[in-house]
Amino acid sequence: MNPKPLKFENKKGLRLAANLYLPLDKAPKFYALFAHCFTCTKNFSAVTQICTSLSQHGIAVLSFDFTGLGRSEGDFQDSTFSANISDLSDAAAFLEENFEAPKMLVGHSLGGAAVLYVADLLDSVQAVVTIAAPAFPAHVKHLFEDGLKEVEENGSAKVNIGGRSFRINKSFIDDLEQRPITSFLKNLRKSILIFHSPQDQIVGIENAAEIYGAAFHPKSFISLDGADHLLSNAADSQYIGEVISSWSIRYVAISENSKLNDLKGNQVLIRLAGDGYTTEIKTPHHHLLADEPTEVGGANLGPTPYDLLMASLGSCTAMTLKMYSERKDWPLKQVQVYLNHDKVHLDDSKASEDPGAKVSQFTRIIELEGDLDEDQRQKLLEISNRCPVHRTLQEEIKIRTMLAK
């Protein structure tokens, strides 16, 4: 099951609800910690999409509900920004005690501000990612400015944020006022990746400029052009997950304990979980995705199973031709293989109307580039039929299937 639901205690003894997203083979490259946006939860769509994407690229991610939110214990009105930072520290300690200390922190909106603060407190953290984060946490005050007067007069007030009612107290507001991020970023020596949309109507793009200007290198900025603050378009969250995964390769050391071949003695592992058809594939050293097109209910995040089958045949063909040409010292510079798959009737079929009388046909068109004579080109065409995948597909194939114990 992915994600795996967990609970841990914070320093106040409150049990916080969490989700742990593990890679397919449960042997992560490293662990990361995700902090959600103000008044959001770990189950917010953008959070789940980004965490899922990271896990599909071999990164384990723990996301959790801050005190008083989602399924976590406590009262939101008793929470402060400092308490959020404390919850993050407790989540990191939980990871270190039970799995592995987090090497990367990811935060959305006010969660992005929180991870910048806590990053300097955690020696294990090597990289920090912010998404639509405010440079000054007090910036979020405008979300409940109608209740500020009542807070000043009565010490607390019920406010409506994003269609949900929350009670906040004066200590929360006072705490926000005392937390300018730029005052300590100059001392933070962690790699930083900053995402922000120029069209963000909640936290303006100038906040990203403030954070970027105050931070030390290595630092990177990615413009989420067209995205809104809450990342309501799933494509934006998926893009963020893809970019973080690629970026982290350069700035996060992969754990030596990561068992890249931990497939329980098997060559390939497959996992399909969730509502759609997005399927994770783990080979001994690589993570891949397969999916179905959107018109049949998929998310189109990867090739279809038949696309992968054709890719297997085509790539094996190209590699076989390359190896043969190198042995012969022939001037083959490039191979391109075009493939199609159809169901066709055998030429001598007597049941042309019977769908069961059809067989699979792969059409393979090979394009050879290089100073080759006609004899060499014809020989390479002959050799293409000797590629291992081609020969396997033409053999009598037996498939043994059993339930895992």
Secondary element (H or E) of residue 368: strand 358-370
Residue 321: predicted pLDDT? 96
Query: Is there a contact between 237 and 209 (Cβ–Cβ < 8 Å)?
Result: no
Q: Which of 35-39, 290-294, 297-301, 369-373 has the highest mean pLDDT?
A: 369-373
Question: Which residues, 6+ apart, have CB-to-CB distance to 368 below 8 Å?
Answer: 321, 332, 334, 335, 377, 380
On the question of pLDDT at 353 being above 90, the answer is: no
Distances (CA, A) of 220 to 50, 82, 192, 217: 18, 27, 6, 8
Residue 174: predicted pLDDT: 65
Average pLDDT over every residue of 4-26: 92
Give the mean pLDDT of 370-389: 95
pLDDT above 90 for 256: no
Residue 211 pLDDT > 80, yes or no?
Answer: yes
Q: Which of 127, 125, 112 is nearest to 47 (CA)?
A: 112
Residue 138: what pLDDT?
A: 66
pLDDT at 357 over 60: yes
pLDDT of residue 14: 94
Beta carbons of 364 and 384 less than 8 angstroms apart: yes
* Residue 74 pLDDT > 60: yes
pLDDT of 266 = 73
E-assigned strands of 84-169? Answer: 104-108, 127-131, 156-161, 164-169
Residue 283 confidence (pLDDT): 82
| Span of 48-52, 102-106, 280-284 with lowest mean pLDDT | 280-284
Q: Dig out the tokens for 279 from the structure.
A: 């399927």
Give the pLDDT mean for 278-295.
Answer: 84
- Mean pLDDT across 186-211: 92
Pairing of strands 30-35, 104-108: parallel
Indicate if the pLDDT at residue 310 is higher than 70: yes
Structure confidence at residue 24 (pLDDT): 80
Query: What SS3 class is residue 270?
Result: strand
Q: Is the pLDDT of residue 271 over 80?
A: yes
Mean pLDDT for the stretch of residues 82-110: 94
Give me the mean pLDDT over the 112-138 stretch.
Answer: 90
Nearest to 60 by CA among 193, 289, 255, 267: 255
Q: Average of pLDDT values for 167-181?
A: 65
Residue with tokens 């169901």: 343
Number of C-beta neighbours around residue 51 at 10 A: 26
Distance of CA 280 to the CA centre of its chain: 12
Reported as a pLDDT band with limits 50, 70 and 90, residue 180 is low
Confidence label for 223 from pLDDT (cuts 50, 70 and 90): very high
* pLDDT at residue 278 in the model: 85
Name which of 210-224, 226-240, 291-305 the model is least confident about.
291-305
User: Out of 118-127, 327-336, 341-350, which region has the weakest mean confidence (pLDDT)?
Assistant: 341-350
In the predicted structure, residue 226 carries a pLDDT above the cut 60: yes
Q: What is the mean pLDDT of residues 228-245?
A: 94
Mean pLDDT of the chain: 86
List domains and CATH numbers for the chain. Answer: 4-251 (3.40.50.1820), 305-394 (3.30.300.20)
pLDDT band of 175, cuts 50, 70, 90: low
Which of 234, 232, 212 has its CA nearest to residue 223?
Answer: 212
CB 72 within 8 A of CB 8: no
Residue 257 in this model has a pLDDT that exceeds 70: no
> What's the pLDDT score for residue 142?
63
Geometric angle at alpha carbon 59, from 207 and 3, rounded to 5°: 95
Using pLDDT thresholds of 50, 70 and 90, give the confidence band for residue 37: confident
pLDDT at 176: 63
Does 234 or 25 have the greater pLDDT score?
234
Instruction: Check residue 143 and give its pLDDT.
Output: 61
pLDDT over threshold 70, residue 188: yes
